[in-house]
Amino acid sequence: MNILNYSEDHMAFRQGFKQYIETHVSPHGPTWEANGIVPPDAWKRMGEAGYLCTWVPEQYHGKGLDFLYSVIVMEELVKAGQSGFMASLHSDIIVPYIASYGSDAIKEKYLPGCVSGEIITAVAMTEPNAGSDLTAMAATVVEDDNGYILNGSKTFISNGINCNLAVIAARDPKIDDPYAALSLFVVADGTPGFTKGNKLAKMGLRSQDTAELFFSDCRIPKENLLGQKGNGFMMLMEKLQQERLVCAVSAVAGAEAVVEHTIDQARSMKNAMGKPLTKAQDVTFALVEMTTRIKMARTFVDMLVADHMDGKNMVIETSMAKYHTTDTLKEITYRAMDLLGEFGLDDTSFLARSMRDGRIMTIFAGTNEIMKEICAKFMGL
């Protein structure tokens, strides 16, 4: 069943992007992983080629394309084993906050650079003592006659080193209601009081720079407020639907790539009897089970992508998809490692990299336990 109606233009875009990855991304992947960062010039090259923020309206130098072009970028980077180049985090999770809630002046100032890759964005919510629970944030923002003063720290911030523009969530300490206290701001790198910590060493996504961000009496102009003061929690909730859908799309694509790789390897490997692994019933049954599970997840996710493009509210469904697909990716990757044994353990192999990179997906964008809490709440349980 063809749920997503990819046009010839979509397919041409996919083929062009696959070639772009083969030429400009994959050859540099090992170096970027070793250095723990994708260099800014690679972001600029991606933007110049037209693969960042493809949905941004033409008036801000974008192409005004539909969400399927974003899906293509997500899928192809994952399938190429280049998840650490988190273009979709920038394009489809962070920049939408600016496009949806920024003033006309903010959009004119920043969106063209986001499209071109000259601006790399980060979103700063997680803190040392506040992860999935947004109401537990300790970072504070106080308004005065000249703007806002931000104090606090954020941790595990993706694109933390590269970012020259960050979307920051902070609370007003004068407001007791944690849901009404949060506001969102854009803060440019170089703003006095805004400093970056060292790159954090991670198990996976090694080419994606992750860092702590610190704010000490950081003064933010009033025009850098996104949306209305005190509406930060609602804005975060509105955008988390797409964020979790991005996770689900990436997880399904990753699981598909793992099984495809495992089948190819199993066909070329021999068991103790000297026969290809794919002739062993336990192996073939495992591969069939893994493929079946992925196809069912793919159908669900494609349906959600179509509904999302139609503007439907799917808080429950995207939360379900996020936890289910990322659990599926984790379990299938571990099962594939069991099947291939030592051949999957080489640190540079596709399977080892997939295991490292995919493990975080059950944790970020809200842990899978939080996804189930959300579903239970909306189901009246």
SS (H, E, C) 358-371: HHHHHCCCCCHHHH
Q: How far is CA 246 from CA 73, 86, 177, 250, 325, in A?
A: 11, 11, 30, 6, 11
Q: For 246-284, give the DSSP string.
A: HHHHHHHHHHHHHHHHHHHHHHH-B-TTSSBGGGSHHHH
Q: What's the start-to-end Cα distance of the chain, in Å? A: 33
pLDDT (tens, 9 = 90+) of the chain, 381 residues, equals 679 989 999 999 999 999 999 999 999 999 999 999 999 999 999 999 999 999 999 999 999 999 999 999 999 999 999 999 999 999 999 999 999 999 999 999 999 999 999 999 999 998 888 767 777 889 999 999 889 999 999 999 999 999 999 999 999 999 989 889 999 999 999 999 999 999 999 999 999 999 999 999 999 999 999 999 999 999 998 998 999 999 999 999 999 999 999 999 888 887 767 777 888 888 999 999 999 999 999 999 999 999 999 999 998 999 999 999 999 999 999 999 998 887 777 788 899 999 999 999 999 888 999 999 999 999 898
- Which CATH number does 122-229 carry? 2.40.110.10
Written as one letter, the residue type at 95 is: V
Alpha-carbon distance of 70 to 13, in angstroms, equals 11
Closest C-alpha among 133, 187, 189, 130 to residue 155 = 130
Which CATH class, in words, describes the domain spanning 8-119? mainly alpha
Phi, psi for residue 203 in degrees, rounded to 5:
-65, -45
Phi, psi for residue 366 in degrees, rounded to 5:
95, 125
Q: Which two tokens stand for residue 323?
A: 């936890």
pLDDT at 189: 96
Instruction: Report, at the CATH architecture level, how domain 234-378 is classified.
Output: Up-down Bundle (1.20)
Q: Which two tokens stand for residue 305?
A: 């992508």
CATH 1.20.140.10 in the chain is located at 234-378
Could you give the residue ranges of the DSSP H alpha helices within the chain? 8-20, 29-35, 40-48, 67-79, 87-88, 95-101, 104-116, 178-181, 232-268, 281-309, 315-340, 350-359, 368-378
pLDDT at 366: 87
pLDDT at 347: 80
CATH 2.40.110.10 in the chain is located at 122-229
> Could you give the residue numbers annotated as active site?
243
CATH 1.10.540.10 in the chain is located at 8-119
Please, which residues have CB within 8 angstroms of residue 216's CB and are 6 or more apart in sequence? 151, 193, 195
258: left (phi over 0), alpha (psi -120 to 50) or beta: alpha
